[in-house]
Structure 1
């Protein structure tokens, strides 16, 4: 039976900064900075970028990779889309790959179905958009929200985990640039100054 179809304005941030979202049952310990990133191989909904399926190694750039847990429906993702494209472009200009992964349950959120991922990617998305249908990748990373970003060095070590900035829904209120700063630090060969921040967004929609 088809679950409820939620529009893009009906989701709310996952518990706020002081109340983390409930984790998926039996979720692996979260991957924190210093951990080795789990590998993956997932189908790619973006026919214009990359191959039909892509692994972590396929997506890795010469100087690293950003793994972004994202989706179609969340207003915090929608509000960040131009900035996400901007950070993907910056990453690529520095030899860092960028890949988006959608792990949401498409039964509860039809907007996040494979067909709708393909439609979203066809509207000018510049990076691979992978479908984590089993939710195993989100589980292995300990992902909690969309959007949520992991910056990896070429040896797969997580250098940064967290948010793009402090106002994903409204760029006019953004006063920080943690992910961009982390890219600068990685490329400069210095330790990331703030390797862990709390993501702001919608909870990952786990299958029941």
Structure 2
């Protein structure tokens, strides 16, 4: 069952495919910044993730500039049918320049606890680890020029301004998490 806006985020400890950015294993406390964190459930193969890479990297930078931690969690690495999302491929992607920690959900327990359904799926946590926003980045993940919304950035702007997030949950647009049975 997914946790909902206002609830405390489930803790985790996962291996980091990018140990030059964080420890070899990281938990939620390691990710949290003074003002909170952004957690993105992601993968490597999904065209919706690939189409969002520049925006995800920009979001990671903005998070860091504003006292928020940032991490991606590969929710598909556990599924052997998706070799392109394996832990090894995730490490290789990090070596090529991913600018944030990229954790491996080795048995998909974190993805399940958080209720992740799609990649990419964005979660904004406040400084106490409570969920402020959950959902998509915008309504056009493969083509930023076609976007008519800016859901994640609106939520971040409102949160950083000390305002209530007006649209705290949106439907993610992306590939389904590739669950193992």
TM-score under structure 1 length normalisation: 0.84
Deviation track 1:117-159 (CA, whole Å, cap 9, x = no partner) reads 0011112111100000110000101110000011000111100
- Aligned partners of 1:180 and 1:206: how far apart in 2? 29
How many residues align structurally? 180
C-alpha RMSD of matched pairs (Å): 0.9
Structure 2 unmatched ranges of 5 or more: none
Secondary structure class of the residue paired with 1:72: coil
In structure 2, the partner of 1:37 is: 9
| Residue 177 (structure 1) shift | 1.1
1:95 to 67, 91, 107: 67
In structure 2, the partner of 1:185 is: 158
Structure 2 counterparts to residues 3-152 of structure 1, below 5 A = 29-104=1-76, 105-152=78-125
- Aligned partners of 1:44 and 1:158: how far apart in 2? 23
TM-score under structure 2 length normalisation: 0.97
Structure 1 unmatched ranges of 5 or more: 1-28
Runs of 4 or more consecutive aligned structure 1 residues displaced over 4 Å after TM superposition: none
